Amino acid sequence: MTIVDLLERNAAQFGDEIALVEINPEAKETRRTTWRDFELVEPSRHRSYYRREISWNVFNEKANRFANALKARGVGRGHKVAILLMNCIEWLPIYFGVLKTGAIVVPLNFRYTSEEIKYCVELSETDILVFGPEFIGRVEEIADDLADRMLIYVGTGCPSFADDYAEMTAECSSSFQTVPLSEDDDAAIYFSSGTTGFPKAILHAHRSLIHSARCEQAHHGQTHDDIFLCIPPLYHTGAKMHWFGSLISGSKGVILKGTGAETILRAASDERATIVWLLVPWAQDILGALDRGELKLSDYNLDQWRLMHIGAQPVPQSLIKRWLEYFPNHQYDTNYGLSESIGPGAVHLGVENVHKVGAIGKAGFGWETRICYEDGNDVKQGEVGELCVKGPGVMKCYYNDPKATAETLRGEWLRTGDMAMEDEDGFIFLVDRKKDVIISGGENLYPVQIEDYLSANKKIKDVAVIGLPDARLGEIAAAIIQLAPGAECTEEEINEFCRELPRYKRPRKIIFADVPRNPTGKIEKPKLRQIYGGEMLVAAQNRS
């Protein structure tokens, strides 16, 4: 079975029921319009945003039309089709249309520059690039370099250098004889975050996709009555693989364009969402707005909301403690994974283990874990080593990069690059990224541990700890601190707050500034090291 089979099953069993809803608080249209079965409903006195929805039948028909359009252009097994779209209701039907042909789907990060788009298209040997209006300028810059590839535009006002998606699919049949697929067939190429240079192309089989659906339902118990509010970008494995829980249960998913605290609570209220996956910054924003009285829970209908879960980055214990004070009836969970293990679920906390908040959990459904020394031998319980995972969601390889593949895959085991330790109860705690460990005066400092401690300070909204060069110690820990709105704090206050930390763990430099995060919530530490490492180098040169 593949996820394509799940879509076709849902169309047969739940055809007229709503599959997907798109909410766009920023839409500028002022009239009611319909575009090929996607209905855009103007604001009413009950809603302050535009809303589109499609049934499972229409979802499947849209995928079929696009599959037929691709097939007419010779697309089939071995071809690659890249998707460069912002979150929208067209995204998933296009994704499934590609898979139905037997081709490989290649989601692209919407923050990529034109050069990064070109690099990823060439590395993955993509044949067709599907893009939206937000990317016209970036794609036009490289259109001549992509002249041997087909460019398909989704939206109004198709540029002259691309083919129009609506026109291509208008006359196509809504039925399609799906190419027979097995779990071993190639399915998708996802790209790494690219934190150490240009991203790597990660090849997954259909086995990875279907296992992520099974894993998600096993962890979060989605039923046909659940409603999942999806906020993170769909190009990322995390958002899509969490939505696969809706796919496998045939339940409704809501795609929200916007991450503001009021926008999230309003969407959860109006759409009667039962499951919401947040990133740390969004949860912080919601709590901050509630703390300041800018939002009141009494203004929303949230009794149906049963599960809030967070992933993609370490979660401060203090954040969840505060969350459960406002939402005492919520189940809470966190999932760990990476694009090489098809996103979330390789390690899973479990809603029954809220007392272990701070841990990422134990091996997820169908997964195995080890914590190893550099030589591959297991560390002792309580010691720090590299987390390794094994399961049906491990990538096949880094596409066109055998050297990187050999460094990361050791037999069936995937070396994650994350340092971790296991406690006496078997729960795994992330310590830090292997490359982010700070070695200061011969001591290993793990920034996540320091960040978690500082996050308990109510004046701090967000914090990142990085290593900066030091002539005597090699490196020192620097804390970049983003204060909560309206908060005032001094370096002396932070130093006093850190007195309970062992001396060697205390940050030696405090910087008050914004903490940059990427679209999936991860702190952009390379950017911070570039900014502040460069500043320290200039200062040292000036002193000399």
Do 116 and 222 lie in one domain? The reply is yes
Last residue of a domain, one of 395, 410, 433: 433
Cα-to-chain-centroid distance, residue 467: 26
Report residue 359: phi and psi, to 5°: -85, 155
If DSSP codes are grouped into helix, strand and coil, which group holds residue 114? Answer: helix
Contacts 24+ apart (CB under 8 A), 337-340: 337/237, 337/238, 337/241, 337/311, 337/364, 337/393, 338/416, 338/418, 339/190, 339/191, 339/192, 339/193, 339/202, 339/236, 339/237, 339/395, 340/192, 340/202, 340/394, 340/395, 340/408, 340/414, 340/416
Which residue, of 230, 249, 268, is where some domain finishes?
249
Q: Is residue 201 part of a domain?
A: yes
Residue 267 lies in a domain: no
Torsion, Cα 82 229 361 393, to 10 degrees, reads: -30
Provide the CA 459 distance to its chain's centre, in angstroms. 27
Nearest partner of 352 among 330, 331, 327, 323, judged by Cα: 331
CA distance 29 to 530: 41
Cα angle, residue 412 at apex, residues 401 and 446 outer, rounded to 5°: 80
176 and 210 fall within a common domain: yes
* Tokens representing residue 198 in the block: 């240009």
The CATH number that applies at residue 479 is: 3.30.300.30
Same domain, 245 and 384: no
Please indicate, yes or no, if residue 177 is contained in any of the structural domains: yes
Same domain, yes or no: 67 and 148: yes
Q: Do 414 and 537 have their domain in common?
A: no
Give the side-chain half-sphere CA count within 13 A for 406.
4
Q: Does 465 share its domain with 382? A: no
Q: How far is it, in rounded angstroms, from Cα 13 to Cα 456?
A: 48
88 backbone dihedrals φ, ψ, rounded to 5°:
-165, 170
Residue 384 is part of a domain; what is its CATH number?
Answer: 2.30.38.10
Residues 6+ apart with CB under 8 A from 345: 212, 215, 216, 219, 241, 335, 337, 364, 365, 367, 393
For the chain, the average pLDDT equals: 88
Amino acid 38: pLDDT: 45
In a domain, 106, yes or no: yes
Using a 10 angstrom Cβ sphere, with 0-12 exposed, 13-18 middle and 19 or more buried, the burial of residue 500 is exposed
Q: Which of these three, 200, 229, 249, is where a domain ends?
A: 249
The pair of structure tokens assigned to 281 is 């910054």
pLDDT confidence of residue 431: 79
Question: 473 with 406, same domain?
Answer: no
Chain segment 264-319, per-residue pLDDT in tens: 999 999 999 999 999 888 898 899 999 999 999 999 999 999 999 987 666 778 88
Question: In 3-state terms, what secondary structure has residue 320?
Answer: helix
Q: What is the Rg, in whole angstroms, of the alpha carbon atoms belonging to the chain?
A: 24
Whether 346 and 391 have beta carbons less than 8 Å apart is answered as yes
Instruction: Write out the residue range of the structural domain in which residue 318 sits.
Output: 306-433
33 within a domain of the structure (yes/no): no
Q: Output the pTM of the full model.
A: 0.82
pLDDT at 357: 86
463 lies in the same domain as 420: no
Task: Answer yes or no: is 271 within a domain.
Answer: no
In tens digits, what is the pLDDT along the chain, a chain of 544 residues? 999 999 999 999 999 999 999 998 876 543 333 333 444 444 433 455 688 999 999 999 999 999 999 999 999 999 999 999 999 999 999 999 999 999 999 999 988 889 989 999 999 999 999 999 999 999 999 999 999 999 999 999 999 999 999 999 998 999 999 899 999 999 999 998 654 457 899 999 999 999 999 999 999 999 999 999 999 889 988 888 999 999 999 999 999 988 899 999 999 999 999 999 998 888 988 999 999 999 999 999 999 999 999 876 667 788 899 999 999 999 999 998 889 999 888 999 999 998 888 889 999 999 999 999 988 899 999 998 999 999 999 999 999 999 999 999 999 999 998 889 999 999 999 876 777 778 776 667 878 888 888 988 989 999 999 888 876 677 888 999 999 888 999 999 999 999 888 787 889 999 999 998 876 677 888 788 888 885 554 444 444 4
On whether both 415 and 454 belong to a single domain, the answer is no
288 domain residue, yes or no:
no
Considering only CA atoms, which of 518, 505, 415 is closest in space to residue 465? 505
Structural domains counted in the chain: 3
**In this structure, is residue 285 part of a structural domain?**
no
Same-domain status, 414 and 522: no
CATH of the domain at 143: 3.40.50.12780
Q: Which residues of 163-197 are buried (b: 16+ CB within 10 A; e: fewer)?
A: ebbeebbeebeeebebbebeeebbbbbbbbbbbee
Same domain, 470 and 425: no
Let me know whether 327 and 215 are in one domain: no
